[in-house]
Amino acid sequence: MYWTRRAWAGTSAAVFVGILALSWWMFLRPAAPLPFAQGPTATVHPVTDVMVFGAGGVRLTQRHWISALVIVPSRLPSWAHKELASRYAPHGHSLEQVIWNGRSSLFHAALQWNIPGLYLTKVQEATARSGVSDTMLAAITEGRKDSRPLQWDGRGFAGPKGSIHTTVSDTLMVQLASLLPAGGSLVAVNGSGGLLAQTGSPLGRQISWQPHPVGQALTPVMLAMALNDPHLYQGLPATGGSRLLEELGSRWHTAGIAGALKKLGWDAQETVPGQPVGNPSLPRISTAVMAQGRDLWGTGDEVARAYLPFITGGRVLPIHWLATPVHGTSGHYPPVTQPGTVRQIDAVVPSEVVGGIVFHVWRPDSNFAVACTSFHQGMVLVLEGPATAETLTAVQRAAVWLAHP
């Protein structure tokens, strides 16, 4: 029995020593030095690490660790140094340690090079959540990409954090996006100019900023603007349709038509801050613009802004993403037309009533369809291209959302 105790005690001591050695090896031994400096390091491309929130605090982005490479020029083979310096060295300067956070085919090939001076790491970025358009997110975060050096935090390189709170409704956008046919897009704006939704099919393309021929999409708005001058209507022939619009256009003249379009924001280079594609320039105006929209092209955002007077008491407000708009109150923007004039136009525009919510719907062709309501916070819904075929379904879903935002 004595021998058994000693053997057991000896065995226990050996196990204990083994556990200590293993613990030292796993947790306490000095870590192998990293092959690159851990101080603040610049990136080849600016990093977006801004969390974007929609209405109600819903996250539209999520943070990920993205593969990147640390370039240490002094250790690179001459061929790699020459190739990378020609691309990423500042003009007139030598290549210094830098984080290569690329998307190109060369970057993905370089991930497999396994050469000295090029070391795999990770960079933290905020990316669009599933179902959120990358192009919309890029527009929202434009100007918030951080070009400051990133800091090593033990797992990879990360930069200062930030957040943007927006007017975007994730719920509304998902409900509307699911009905879009290929090539269609839509924009929804509330009565303060806040963007509620902007998406296209396929998701992520810049289709929401691609212009279409306006045609007669602006006819109700332009009639409301023309009603500001009662002399234009005196003695008009008792006819309707295009002949009436042609006569009205000839009386208004090109200067009057151009002036009205500019008041509606049609001469701005961009309608939404950060949009990736600029607006088409205002063409040389002819009187045919009034009747046919000839030569006039525009985006869904431009059309949505032009219809804001129908839900804002006659005002044209800037369209924005931010939950707290920077343009101040609507009092800074005098009406471009009167509420009574808007009611006259609404009376002759077709309407759709869903659950007691009245939408005035204007769909002159397959380029644009517009639906407006003053219910609750108000909404202008613009559908483009093939999406115009789903106008009534979109109106029904928008009405359900307005009733329970």
| CA dist., res. 349 & res. 358, Å (int) | 12
Cβ neighbours of residue 168 closer than 8 Å, sequence gap 6 or more: 54, 55, 60, 136, 140, 195, 196, 197, 198, 321
Q: Does residue 79 sit in the same domain as residue 215?
A: no
Q: Are 48 and 64 in contact (CB under 8 A)?
A: no
Say which CATH number the domain at 299 has.
3.40.710.10
pLDDT in tens, 344-399: 899 989 999 999 999 999 999 888 999 999 999 899 999 999 999 999 999 999 99
Domain that holds residue 110: 50-149
What integer pLDDT is reported at residue 204 of this predicted model?
62
Last residue of a domain, one of 93, 115, 149: 149
365 sits in the region (left: phi over 0; alpha: psi -120 to 50; else beta) called beta
Q: Which amino acid is at 135?
A: T
Percent of the chain exceeding pLDDT 90 equals: 46
Pair 214, 359 in one domain: yes
61-71 and 50-53: which strand pairing?
A: unpaired
pLDDT value, residue 11: 54
Does 214 lie in the same domain as 322?
Answer: yes
Identify whether 43 is part of a domain.
no
Q: Is residue 354 part of a domain?
A: yes
pLDDT tens readout for residues 1-43: 444 544 544 555 555 545 554 554 444 444 567 888 888 999 9
Number of domain units in the chain: 2
Q: What pTM value is reported for the model?
A: 0.81
Tell whether 233 and 374 lie within a shared domain: yes
Tens of pLDDT, residues 63-73: 999 999 999 99
Residue 172 has pLDDT above 90, yes or no: yes
Q: How far apart are CA 59 and CA 67, in angstroms?
A: 23
Q: Where are the alpha helices (DSSP H) in 164-240?
A: 170-177, 219-226
Residues 267 and 143 placed together within one structural domain of the fold: no
Q: Do 142 and 161 contact (CB within 8 A), yes or no? A: no
Within a domain: residue 21?
no
List C-alpha distances in Å: 360 to 41, 230, 354, 375. 55, 24, 11, 11
- pLDDT band with cut points at 50, 70 and 90 for residue 273: confident
Q: Kindly give, in sequence order, each residue whose CB lies less than 8 Å from that of residue 399, ignoring residues fewer than 6 positions away.
A: 354, 355, 357, 359, 373, 375
The verdict on 80 and 207 lying in the same domain is no
Residue 227 forms part of a structural domain:
yes
